Amino acid sequence: MGSEYEGRSAAEVVAGMKERFASGKTRIFQWRVAQLKAIVRMIDEKEDEIAAAIYEDLAKSRTEACLQEIALAKDACLFTLKKLKHWVKPQKVSTSILTFPSTAQIVPEPFGVILIISAWNYPFLLSIEPVIGAIAAGNTVVLKPSEVAPSTSSFFAKVLPKYVDNSCIRVLEGSASETSELLEQKWDKIMYTGNPRVARIVMAAAAKHLTPVILELGGKCPLIVDSNIDLKVAAKRIVVGKWGSNSGQACIAPDYIITTKSFAAKLVDALKIALQKFYGKDPLQSTDLSRIVNIRHFARLRNLLEDEKVSGKIVYGGLQDEKDLKIAPTILLDVPCDALMMEEEIFGPLLPIVTVDDLGQSFDIINSKEKPLAAYLFTRDQRLEENFVKTVSAGGMLINDTILQFTNRHLPFGGVGESGMGFYHGKFSFDAFSHKKAVLRRCFIVEIPMRYPPYTPQKQKVVRGLMSGNVLPLLHALIRKTYLALRPPHSTSQFHLIGKDWSNHYE
């Protein structure tokens, strides 16, 4: 392992974290609050360094880094601090007649030692937000930042330990070999943000120890555009959601558009106007356009553009600067569904447009692919909107805008199927790293004789009645039990109730 492990192996690191958790330190409410306040203080005091690290990794503008990463991270922490006192309280729930008298609670308790493997495309936010949830729930945490964003990874390794309790919250840097060694250990829960290929490796490693996982992946996020819209507004929202989100390197960025053949030309023209307004006539020189993360991803995107099935389909953009790792916003029209860029997640500044005769066909195109992390629709047609929500399966949806669902702390964020499993954000982050322990309490009064052997047909009848909501047989039995307990000794009177003889039913 590297120097960040202080000479200790991954197994020793995990063992140490388990000891810390066993001490009960992280369960203390005041400890959790202190760590969260320290993270807020770190964000305030080190904003310049955070923004600089993000710029070095992805050339994100200061504004984009602040709006889409730094501010959202701080907001997540402040939201958690505001709500945590309520979240940690046991939740009272109803009981059933079968357990009367009783009380029931759901008690949130931390899982234990959490491993968080974060992504490179939003290297600060996607690292710190899961850590916030894990701390809030009372766990010890090991954060493994992405080595593909080395500056932000280095920031976490050097700076975070100065603010938080490093004995319970650790940052471990490294590449694939270090990550593999970490995955060999037994964790209490693992969260991975990235792509489905690596997610399968993570899940296979977790399965050896029956470790639960949260997988935040991606997929081809579709965007359906109806003609019944405010086209100028829609174009701006599409452009900022696609190219203003890390130059399309975002798991929730629109991956492709579906619109009608008759409306496609108008949509393309509106997108061109918005793109030129935002990034100028030479977008490769724009400081508001992020670069591609590395040469490997640049080559992958160039390969998508060189696919013969999209030859002649570029209607805007296409310029490339390999030295600066930049590709201009690129729109392709009438892209066939069997083109390479329609078979894999693009994760870059290329936006293919698929045209159909009727938007009803769009649902079949979307559902023929793996379930995406996000799906978008622009329309004023309420019936189309209802069909979209009902027909399309996705991790989340947004109508008449893009990517903003990620900012809502009251909505869960997560995928389904190939786009992931589990979710977080706000209270959902606290829940993601908390085990919901069921607690039922009873006292020593009121015995129900039909739960004990010998099991007679009459007892079975009472139990069935109780399970179906009929309490009358139980009342009969309890009244008789009380009568027998109170009647004079040697009494020979019969016990008749509501026209039936129950005297021998519940001995």
Q: Which two tokens stand for residue 56?
A: 């070095």
pLDDT (mean) for 276-293: 96
Report the number of distinct structural domains present in the chain. Answer: 3
Written in H, E and C, the secondary structure of 14-28 is: HHHHHHHHHCCHHHC
Please check the confidence at residue 502 and state whether its pLDDT lies above 90: no
Same domain flag for 234 and 267: yes
Give the pairing of strands 256-260 and 350-356.
Answer: parallel
CA distances (Å), 383 to each of 230, 260, 338, 394, 416, in order? Answer: 18, 17, 30, 19, 25
Catalytic: 251? yes
**Residues 112 and 140 sit within 8 Å (Cβ to Cβ):** yes
Same domain flag for 229 and 210: no
Whether 290 is covered by a domain: the verdict is yes
Whether 419 is covered by a domain: the verdict is no
- What are the tens digits of pLDDT across the range 6-18? 557 899 999 999 9
Q: Is the N-terminal amide bond of 454 cis, ω within 30° of 0?
A: yes
Same domain flag for 331 and 460: no
Same domain flag for 305 and 188: no
Residue of 168, 251, 345, 418 marked active site: 251
Other Cβ atoms within 10 Å of 291 Cβ, number: 22
Whether 267 is covered by a domain: the verdict is yes
Place of tokens 């140490």: 16
Please check the confidence at residue 350 and state whether its pLDDT lies above 90: yes
CATH number at residue 185: 3.40.605.10
b vs e for 233-272, b when ≥16 Cβ sit within 10 Å of the residue's Cβ?
ebbbbbbbbbbbbbbbbbbbbbbbbbbbeebbeebbebbb
Whether 64 is covered by a domain: the verdict is yes
Q: Is the N-terminal amide bond of 101 cis, ω within 30° of 0?
A: yes
Q: 99: pLDDT confidence band, cut at 50, 70 and 90?
A: confident
- pLDDT of 167 reads 95
Same domain flag for 325 and 383: yes
What's 395's DSSP letter?
A: S
Same domain flag for 37 and 97: yes
CATH number at residue 330: 3.40.309.10
**Residues 353 and 256 sit within 8 Å (Cβ to Cβ):** yes
Same domain flag for 286 and 202: no
CA–CA gap between residue 332 and residue 355 (Å, rounded): 11
Please check the confidence at residue 486 and state whether its pLDDT lies above 90: no
- pLDDT of 387 reads 96
Please check the confidence at residue 468 and state whether its pLDDT lies above 80: no
- pLDDT of 507 reads 41
pLDDT (mean) for 473-486: 64
Same domain flag for 433 and 452: no
Whether 375 is covered by a domain: the verdict is yes
Same domain flag for 213 and 226: no
Please check the confidence at residue 348 and state whether its pLDDT lies above 60: yes
Whether 166 is covered by a domain: the verdict is yes
Same domain flag for 383 and 276: yes
Same domain flag for 234 and 167: no
Residue of 216, 345, 385, 418 marked active site: 216
Whether 421 is covered by a domain: the verdict is no
Q: 405 lies in which domain range? A: 222-414
Whether 506 is covered by a domain: the verdict is no
Mean pLDDT of the residues in the chain: 92
Same domain flag for 310 and 401: yes
pLDDT (mean) for 237-262: 97
**Which is more confidently placed, 181 or 503?**
181
- What are the tens digits of pLDDT across the range 403-416? 999 999 999 999 99
